[in-house]
């Protein structure tokens, strides 16, 4: 039995060499903030984006740490003018804290795109690797990576990639449950990006860009019967459907 192996395009190999083999020429600045601080800023940004403000317990849950440890870090971030914080009232990032958080998110999502599109990682495999790569501090490297990838607007999970100025260009999305029967739509994002969720969607051949139609809704448990591409009809639960974000397919 022969095994088919995907060979990288010559253009990609040459661009990869151009991007990475002259790393010694890059002037990496000394890291101003530790990976721990950057992780806090990113977590607070996401929580703040959802509810306008973040709390100690929410950050502790997001980072899987103790509330007491969060409180200590918040004091440090406030001292560095990255956070506006009042005990027992919640907190939000300062403009500088927000700027740093967005740049971390930009790096993370660019690396995820690179790993999937150029190194053929699965979309359920890249998060932890990107968590490490996002702390590389060279702006020149990240700008060159962005150009090497031809300035992608979204990562492999459909999340918008902020540009060099930190601007997000997010397209309107809606929950799959909100789509009427027999209305063509295209998968544009995944709300819950746990490994388990991504593995399940991969098994059902659902990914970003997949064309999808709801053929039947079952009131008993709100499960859906879907047509995915030209495949046989498949079933998804309400929980799965809530995490599939779509755009209208025009």
pLDDT tens for each residue of 178-227: 999 999 999 999 988 888 999 999 999 999 999 999 999 999 999 999 99
| Distance separating alpha carbons of residues 110 and 114, to the nearest angstrom | 6
Helix H or strand E segment including 248: strand 244-248
Name the domain boundary from 122, 144, 170: 170
Residue 19 lies in a domain: yes
Residues 118, 32 share a domain: yes
Residues 224, 135 share a domain: no
Residues 113, 91 share a domain: yes
Chain segment 73-106, per-residue pLDDT in tens: 999 999 999 999 777 778 999 999 999 999 999 9
Domain containing 227 equals 174-248
Name the domain boundary from 121, 140, 170: 170
Residue 3 lies in a domain: no
| Distance separating alpha carbons of residues 33 and 141, to the nearest angstrom | 18
Residues 194, 89 share a domain: no
Minimal CA–CA distance to 114: which of 95, 137, 141?
141
Residues 117, 71 share a domain: yes
Domains contained in the chain, number: 2
Task: Identify the CATH number of the domain in which residue 237 sits.
Answer: 2.30.30.90
Residue 96 lies in a domain: yes
The C-alpha angle with vertex 202 and arms to 200 and 206, in degrees rounded to 5, equals 105
Residue 189 lies in a domain: yes
Number of Cβ within 10 Å of residue 233's Cβ equals 11
- Would you state the structure tokens that stand for residue 30, as one six-digit string? 């000394």
Confidence of residue 26 (pLDDT cuts 50, 70, 90): low
The answer to whether 101 and 44 are in contact (CB under 8 A) is: yes
Residues 146, 94 share a domain: yes
Number of Cβ within 10 Å of residue 243's Cβ equals 19
Residues 146, 37 share a domain: yes
Residue 182 lies in a domain: yes
**Buried b / exposed e across 137-163, counting CB within 10 Å, b at 16+?**
eeeebbebbbebbeebebbbbbbbbbe
pLDDT tops 50 at residue 2: no
Average pLDDT, rounded, for the chain: 86
Instruction: Tell me the residue length of the chain.
Output: 250
Residues 218, 103 share a domain: no
Residue 2 lies in a domain: no
Name the domain boundary from 170, 192, 212: 170
């Amino acid at each position: 039995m022969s095994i088919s192996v995907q060979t990288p395009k010559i253009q990609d190999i040459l661009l990869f060499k151009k991007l990475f083999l002259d790393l010694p020429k890059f002037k990496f600045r000394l890291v101003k903030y530790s990976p721990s601080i950057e992780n806090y800023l990113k977590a607070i940004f996401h929580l703040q984006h959802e509810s306008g403000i973040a709390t100690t317990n929410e950050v502790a849950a997001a980072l899987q740490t103790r509330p007491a440890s969060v409180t200590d870090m918040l004091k440090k971030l406030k001292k560095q003018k990255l956070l506006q914080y009042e005990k027992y009232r919640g907190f939000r990032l300062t403009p500088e804290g927000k700027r740093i958080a967005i740049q971390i998110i930009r790096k993370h999502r660019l690396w995820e795109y690179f790993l999937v599109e150029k190194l053929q990682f699965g979309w359920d495999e890249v998060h932890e690797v990107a968590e490490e790569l996002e702390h590389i501090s060279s702006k020149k490297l990240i700008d060159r990576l962005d150009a090497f990838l031809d300035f992608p607007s979204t990562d492999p999970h459909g999340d918008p990639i902020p540009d060099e100025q930190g601007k997000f260009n997010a397209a309107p999305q809606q929950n799959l449950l909100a789509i009427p029967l027999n209305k063509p739509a295209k998968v544009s994002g995944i709300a819950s990006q746990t490994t388990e969720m991504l593995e399940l969607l991969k098994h059902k051949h659902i990914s970003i860009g997949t064309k999808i139609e709801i053929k039947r809704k079952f009131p008993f448990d709100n499960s859906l019967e879907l047509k995915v591409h030209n495949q046989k009809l498949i079933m998804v639960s309400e929980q799965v459907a809530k995490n599939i974000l779509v755009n209208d397919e025009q």
